[in-house]
Structure 1
Amino acid sequence: MTTARKTTAPKPPAAAVAADAHWAATRERLRNRTRPIVRLTICDDRDAKQALAEAKFNEQRAKDNAERDPSNKVEQAVLRAATDEFAQAQTAVDEASIVLRFQALDRKTYKELLAVHPPTEDQAEDGYAFNLDTLGPVIVAASSLDGITEEDAAGYLDDWSQAEAEALLNTAFGVQREERMDLGKG
């Protein structure tokens, strides 16, 4: 019969850690990290969005032309005008937009929310680990940095189009899985 042996990673001596300024600074930075934040931008002004798309296309075309002949003053002037047009169009879209911000919950809170919203039998059979109908408004509200309430979220999810409701849910759930690490690079 074999017995399982519990092993723990050895802790470096406190004096060694204190003496290593690099590690001390790294530990401090790790302690001070903020959880990920993502934005969902909603713009209902189709004309402003279309103007922005056209301005972006015109700016790219002007850049291409200006790069082909950098000494051509006319092409350089067209590029400056196209860049200004793009900036104005972007400002118009920004002013017409609603930006919602969502921050990842701490892992413990997220897991607790999943646990109190178990899937229905049908959802479990379909492979769901939680009840999206009950958890959706909760996760939107809990991760919102803009004060969205559960009632607000439930209303949006019921009233908005399918695609827009899914975008809201995907943003609130997606920030929980946002990864800012590059493993194996260095």
Structure 2
Amino acid sequence: MPKTTDTTTTPPPAAVARDPHWAAKLERLRARKPATQTLTICDDATVRQNLAQAKTEHDTAVAYGNEDSQKTTAQALEAAQAAFDEAAIVLTFQALPSPAFQALKEAHPPTEKQAEDDQAINLDTIGPELVSQSSLDGLTPEDAAHFLESWGTGEATQLFMTAWNVQNHVRSDLGKG
């Protein structure tokens, strides 16, 4: 049985003395959800181009401060965005708990050749499992393997990298000392 951490402990008195809001902060920390990232795919080049053009026209209207033009271009942008949203496929990925991600990496050790090239994992085998395990859309390892093998290199790389990058996503700032 894996070791778990008790999350119902009382904050140390020294922490509460330094920050009377510590208990509320601690509760917020405990309630955090894992990071997510999306990959948006739109196969319709015309829809993508129309959205890009509408964004450019609206940005130009805003830059010049023309209120009538801003209103017109905002409506066109809204319509282009709606068409894009209708045509697009959005895949969402979520960070795995650290122990699960570590176990996944350990389950896919590098080949001898990959190790000689200083690779820590086998990128050829981890992809389908990583994409599947981090997918919030229910992608199976078989689906992921099919996409990674049949899509063009750029799109397959984006699929893998979205699943990989969410594992390393940072939502914090070190701030000023």
TM score, norm. by length of structure 2: 0.88
Q: Describe the shift of the 1:16–1:157 C-alpha distance in structure 2 as closer, same or farther (beyond 3 A).
A: same
Give the 3-state SS of the residue equivalent to 1:130 in structure 2. Answer: coil
CA RMSD across the alignment:
1.8
Output the CA distance in 2 between the equivalents of 1:30 and 1:43.
36
Whole-angstrom distance in 1 between the partners of 2:94 and 2:175: 26
Tell me: CA distance 1:107–1:13, structure 2 relative to 1, closer, same or farther (3 Å).
closer
Q: What do the CA deviations read for 1:51-98 (whole angstroms, capped 9, x no partner)?
A: 011111111221222x2xxxxxxx421221111001110111011000
Unpaired runs of at least 5, structure 2: 1-9
4+ residue runs of structure 1 moved beyond 2 angstroms?
12-21
Match of 1:35 in 2: 34
Contact 2:36 2:92 in 1 (8 A): yes
Identity %: 49
TM-score when normalising by structure 1: 0.84
Pair member with larger Rg: 1
Query: How far did residue 105 of structure 1 move?
Result: 0.3
Q: What secondary structure, in the 3-state scheme, does the structure 1 residue paired with 2:172 have?
A: coil
How do 1:5-24 residues align onto structure 2 when only pairs under 5 Å count?
A: 14=12, 21-24=20-23
Aligned residue in 2 for 1:175? 166
Task: Provide the C-alpha distance between the structure 2 equivalents of 1:171 and 1:125, rounded to a whole number of angstroms.
Answer: 26
Report the CA distance shift for 1:160/1:123 in structure 2 as closer, same or farther (over 3 A).
Answer: same
Aligned to 1:82: 73
Question: Residues 56 and 15 (structure 1 numbering): CA distance in 2 closer, same or farther, change over 3 Å?
Answer: closer
Distance 1:13 1:169 in 2: 40
Question: Residue 42 of structure 2 contacts residue 84 of structure 2 at CA under 8 Å; is this kept in 1?
Answer: yes
* Secondary structure in 2 matching 1:163: helix
SS at match of 2:21: helix
Q: Distance in 2 between matches of 1:88 and 1:144?
A: 29
Q: Is the 8 A contact 2:37 2:92 kept in 1?
A: yes
